Amino acid sequence: MRILVAGGTGAVGRRLVPMLVAAGHDVTGLGRSPGRLELLRATGARALAADVLDASALRRVVADAAPDVVVHQLTDLSAAVPADNGRVRREGTRNLVDAALAAGVRRMLAQSISWAYAPGEGPAEEPVPLDVDAPGPRASMVGSVAALEAAVAEVETHVVLRYGILYGPGTWYAPDGAVAAALAGRPDAPPFLGSLRPGPDVSSFLHVDDAARAAVAALEWPSGPVNVVDDEPAAGRDWLPVLSGALGVPAPAPVDDAERTPWARGASNALARARGWAPRWGSWREGFPAMTATPGAGDAGGAGGPGSAGGPGGAGGSIPAGGRERTAAEARA
């Protein structure tokens, strides 16, 4: 198949493109950084520069690539500004879908997130509605996710990959990432969107290699959203000490919260497993230590860039914690 990967230079995209090339597909990767585009060309893919917010230029690039499938792995998290990422979800996705439809594309895959579900008990499954009635900053984040997913649904066959919180090379959770710097208390820690609160709020994680492998598998899946997460949703008080130990930094003191934030519930991967996908790293318990056990451990999918499609964190970056997106300085508080 001819496959266009928008966001081919991000944490997931740079791992996905080599997998698609190895599978025999004709791959074109889109990105904004000329330096990173050269890395894509080294895998045997074509690489083109494009700004997803420039609708007319994007339409020309997609028409030139003439893909059978468009894979949307776009985010904008380099500055950890939620509004920037929200704009890519809304305007960038709209432009990409319009360009794909104009080029006659009939199948599209898109990166979404698994922590935008409405409040409830237990890990969320795909029929649970998105939390569109959420208050405050969360409403803006969930609204941008809903806009992305609605736009992608205009393509005849559309698969929305609701990723867990991404970890591994090129993410905020990597040994050289923003989370390690924040946990170490470094004053120069770069910003990220999330929380390092070891309380009862539950999250689902996913290694970037498993995210890329799911995108390859989803080329054959029917339409609809699919949670792509590991097997063990976990409370912050459980996963943060393991992450801290893997990174060799102090673990935050446990927080004795009375109740879990209602929407911080994690997600179920039962549907993805029923379709034949299974995570190599079934739990963050093994995946976190593998990042630092040996140089390059867990790095089977190619070099990871600083985040998915131009920014750290991947999968939208808005990591569930306390009901809103937070910066590194707040996360240490």
Q: Which of 130, 125, 120 is closest to 150 using CA atoms?
A: 130
- Is residue 13 within 8 A of residue 5, CB to CB? The reply is yes
Q: Is 186 a residue whose pLDDT tops 90?
A: yes
Stretch 25-41: mean pLDDT: 90
Q: Which of 213, 204, 206 is nearest to 167 (CA)?
A: 206
pLDDT at 67 over 50: yes
DSSP 198-227: -SS-EE-EEEHHHHHHHHHHGGGPPSEEEE
Average pLDDT in the 141-168 region?
98
Report the percentage of the chain scoring pLDDT > 90.
80
At residue 79 the predicted structure's pLDDT band, cuts being 50, 70 and 90, is confident
Burial class (CB within 10 angstroms; exposed 0-12, middle 13-18, buried 19+) of 188: exposed
How much is the pLDDT for 258?
73
Tokens standing for 294?
Answer: 């040996």
φ and ψ of 239, to 5 deg: -85, -30
Give the DSSP per-residue string, 15-67.
HHHHHHHHTT-EEEEEES-HHHHHHHHTTT-EEEE--TT-HHHHHHHHHHH--
Per-residue pLDDT at 301 exceeds 60: no
Looking at every residue in the chain, the average pLDDT score rounds to 88
CA distances from 161 to 8, 112, 187, 293, 304 (A): 16, 6, 35, 29, 19
Q: Are 265 and 321 in contact (CB under 8 A)?
A: no
